[in-house]
Amino acid sequence: MLVAESFGISQFITDHFSFIVIDNSDTARGILTTLIAGVMSLMVFSFSMVMIVLNQAANNFTQRLLPELISNRQHQIVLGFYLGTILYSILIMINILPDTGNYDVPGTAVLIAIVLGILSLIFFIYFINTISTNIQISNILYKLYKNTKAQYSKQEKADDFANELPASSNAKWKSLNIKKSGYLQSVDFESLNAIAREHQIRVYINVPVGLFVHRHSPVIQVHPMPADEVRDKIVNTFTVSEQEWFDGQPLNGIKQMTEVILKAMSPGINDPGTALNAIDYLSDLLALEIEKKPFTSYNPDSEKSPLVFITPIPVSQVLHITLGAIRQYAKHDIVITLRLIKMLASFLQHYDFRESKKNDIEGQLHSLMFDADENIKNPLDRKAINELLNQYELATYKIGIEKSNLF
């Protein structure tokens, strides 16, 4: 802008739009000082609001949601605009010289600073509206549900994965250890497959992506055993991190949804409405998890036999780490129990799963009814459970009702 001033842009605007150009250096300095102080106050207030939001999300929901809130691009743009306005105003102010007879104040540059200050006020209003919307738990749950569902859709459209197991043989698989302990965040399947094709090696990954692995555990198995240089290349295709954060894994969204339910049912929060809302979203995500194809191999070339094989997370384990934790927190709550029964009963009645998956769902329903029988003693509540089971033709799971004058 200062370069443009050297070509007389301020003089041109002064000649045609004199009413909007400031030609007094003291006035320009005063305006820029006010703008810098005001926008800096807006930036500090906005930053404080972000910290309050993050603290509230960590205390009321789950700390796993913090990375998603921190990475909000809208907030970053607003804070960046504040900082840019401050820096621009400072640069213009330090280039304004004292009033002399032959000095022209960069009026256009000052005018642009004023416009940026007005835009900062507009951005501030937008920021307040955005942050007050983003912190609402209903919006957080919906965004988490939508992102996790999109990840399932992306997996479903992946053409490079198939459900094919290694050919049975008497070959002895050799184990390879990873370099450090941590969470298996991802595997570069493309590079791993290229290495396997080049050296004609079969690679079997023993641990599902997303789980914690130990440095000396046999995460990788190969046949035949390759040379040391090839082994290092294979190990380097695995990304292991100390932090449990892996983008693109839908199971991570299910874990976050489960933790929101557990936090909502804790005595300190006691928000059953949020728990019910999250269970509704979780039921659809679990249905997608149960329905999805169990990819067990990576093979971008369907005309060739696969050489890279994967261990998927069993459905029984996914159900146990989600519903098992919820049952322990909410086994005394009749409303949550009824919603969980409805979810599992819907799985059995409306979805065409394989027999093994049906057995896993029935096992969870048995566990849920066992906890309900042990912890829910009110006859009216027990009657409501049995009536819901009758609606789904699951009378074999009914629990006994103690004699009472109510019935």
Q: Select from 3.90.1170.30, 3.40.50.800, 3.10.25.10, 1.10.8.50 the CATH code of 137-311.
A: 3.90.1170.30
Burial 56-71 (b: 16+ CB within 10 A, else e): ebeebbbebbeeebee
| Token pair belonging to 125 | 């209003």
Peptide bond into 224 cis (omega under 30): yes
Neighbour-count burial for 162-177, b at 16+ CB within 10 Å, e otherwise: beeebeeeeeebeebe
Reported for 165-174, long-range contacts at CB under 8 A and 24+ positions apart, including other chains, are 165/296, 165/297, 165/309, 166/202, 166/204, 166/309, 167/305, 171/223, 171/224, 172/223, 173/204, 173/221, 173/222, 173/223, 174/221, 174/222, 174/223, 174/224, 174/225
Q: What is the pLDDT of residue 283?
A: 92
Going by C-beta distance under 8 Å and a sequence separation of 6 or more, which residues neighbour residue 26? 99
pLDDT at 53: 75
**pLDDT by 10s per residue, the chain, length 407:** 555 555 555 555 555 555 556 667 788 888 889 999 999 998 888 888 878 877 777 777 766 666 666 777 888 888 899 999 999 989 888 887 766 555 566 777 888 888 899 999 999 999 888 887 877 888 888 988 998 888 888 777 665 565 555 654 545 788 888 878 888 888 888 888 888 888 888 888 888 887 888 887 788 888 888 888 888 888 888 888 877 765 667 888 888 899 889 888 888 778 888 889 999 999 999 988 888 776 677 777 777 778 888 878 888 888 988 998 898 888 888 999 999 999 998 888 877 677 778 888 888 999 998 888 888 888 888 888 888 888 888 777 777 665 444 44
Q: What is the pLDDT of residue 339?
A: 93
